[in-house]
Structure 1
């Protein structure tokens, strides 16, 4: 006779009701720390192109000391826009490592957005100059928006945001989200925007180089978000060779991040800066790059946090699960 347990389902609305930006920052910091300390497992990534035109991937891992095991099945389907849907789709499943029983299925879109934004914020906290006041962002989509939101949270010195769009046209919707927090302006010149900024964030689909190497002035910090698949890039040739490069995971970055284009260069894992394994103190003229490819541990620490909150607050849908 089968045992009956409960599988909790957290849809998008349930996730949105639970998330607090500060808690997401804490969970992502924990993920990087665990990765550096060797207390979190990250399994090989699946990343495949589909005949439908989409990209499908699986990121998985576990934290044995916390009883955490799971995966995120996610990808990018560009034709979803024509259907009125979000191109990025993600679902997370938490599993009991002792039995293999599924514990919680979670809509992963919001989690992916927030944990990536939080990772970018940590990169800025650790790597950007403290006197940074001008930020440029490439993109106005969901990820560009959350990157700017978190940047303004952790770097109150940012007074102006310049943004660039794929079609070269201003976005009143994007401007309205930040106009009360800082000065926001559109630019049609990527090089002008980069050369006048202290912080640059690239958050596009990663289909092309976005600016020239000569536009990057000494002291600039760059968060590279869009290169998350083999063949993608946003940064110009030669940038990484001129910069101190920080990654979330060395192997992953050389396979699918900006670092794939300069895989022989030395890099530092951000978790090693958090744990103190590596000491780093930037100079005023140093160029730094955070190559963000996204760790399964980020998804899992955030998902575990939301799962525990949901049980306490009675959020989500519980269904019987024979096993």
Structure 2
């Protein structure tokens, strides 16, 4: 088997690689050439979450599982809160093929999914990017979004304003003016990315203008919530996987309130393959409920192993 340690990932997988891998696996999901297995997740107490996301991608020839979770005490330990590892297996024999550090991969694949949604659903003339959240993954979101639209400025809000300067630094690197704003100013945004771990929504319906695209990337667990359910009632809703959106994603709250149902949610993969429409007008609000599926992790991990092997960097070990 091959091992690709966490410290190698940054030098191997680019944002463009992650985008292509995620877009391809979304398309494979839409044609039923790939599917996710049921998510296993357990609360360990004190905010800690641990679980498994897995799936089979026949089109990509990949079978795998991501094991890991969220450990909020890690900041005091000097490491990030999200900790995970991806394991890849031969789909034919079940033999373990690779173990890949999953922390940076998680940030890259999450940002890639958001960027795919912006690329496919946001207005072509989108110029103002709104960011709700400024944690570890937010900088990856900002960089990935800037690759698919010609934004002219960035506005941002966070529960903890002292974290916003790290976003401002990235915006400056990208040549984009940056401004910290109250949530009411999000009406100025053409695209809004939410990337928080909140138990109740911060972004209200009144904060969202017509024609906006929202990429809601933080809600991946029962009980989490980033946006007002009324926003989903106003929007054309898209997701990575409909069943997970309704149970773990942002749609769980709108569905519980009777505002939307499964038939109101479109897989983003179907837009990619042309089986479903995306945005239908410049006035339409579109929303991507990015719940984070195991196939995303498998796709970017498989690409990383491919790159590592091609460069002679993957560590081969006997198990």
Same fold by TM-score, threshold 0.5 exceeded? yes
Residue number in structure 2 paired with 1:166: 159
Q: Do 2:39 and 2:54's aligned partners in 1 also have CA atoms closer than 8 Å?
A: yes
CA offset digits 1:279-311 (Å, max 9, x no partner): 234212111110000121111111111112211
Distance 2:22 2:57 in 1: 14
Query: Over aligned residue pairs, what C-alpha RMSD do you find?
Result: 1.4
How far apart in 2 are the matches of 1:222 and 1:206? 17
The TM-score, its normalising length taken from structure 1, stands at: 0.93
CA distance in 2, matches of 1:280, 1:313: 38
**1:176 paired residue number:** 169
Whether 1:220 and 2:212 are equivalent positions in the alignment is yes
Kindly state the Cα deviation for residue 273 of structure 1 after the two structures are TM-superposed: 0.5
Summarize deviations over 1:210-229 as a string: whole Å, max 9, x none: 12212211111111011110
Say which of 31, 36, 42 aligns to 2:25: 31
The corresponding residue for 1:53 is 47
Gaps of 5+ in 2: none
> What is the number of residues matched between the two proteins?
312
Task: Give the direction of change, closer, same or farther, for the CA distance of 1:276–1:164 in structure 2 (3 Å limit).
Answer: same
Q: 1:155-174 CA deviation, whole Å, 9 max, x = no partner?
A: 02x11101112223463332
User: Using the alignment, how far apart are the partners of 2:183 and 2:118 within structure 1?
Assistant: 21
Q: Which runs of 5+ in 1 are unaligned?
A: 1-6
**Alpha-carbon deviations, 1:184-225, whole Å to 9, x = none?**
1112x1112x11111111111132211221221111111101
- Equivalent residue number for residue 318 of structure 1: 316
Select which of 72, 90, 93 maps to 1:96.
Answer: 90
- State the 1:60 CA deviation: 0.4
Q: What TM-score does the superposition give when structure 2 sets the normalisation length? A: 0.94
Query: Once the 2 structures are TM-superposed, how far is the Cα of residue 52 of structure 1 from its aligned partner?
Result: 5.1
Paired with 2:162 and 2:6, the residues of 1 have a C-alpha distance of 31
Q: Counterparts of 2:126 and 2:109 in 1: how far apart (Å)?
A: 23
| 1:144 Cα deviation after fit | 1.1
Q: Equivalent residue for 2:194?
A: 202
**Which residue among 143, 149, 153 is the counterpart of 2:147?**
153
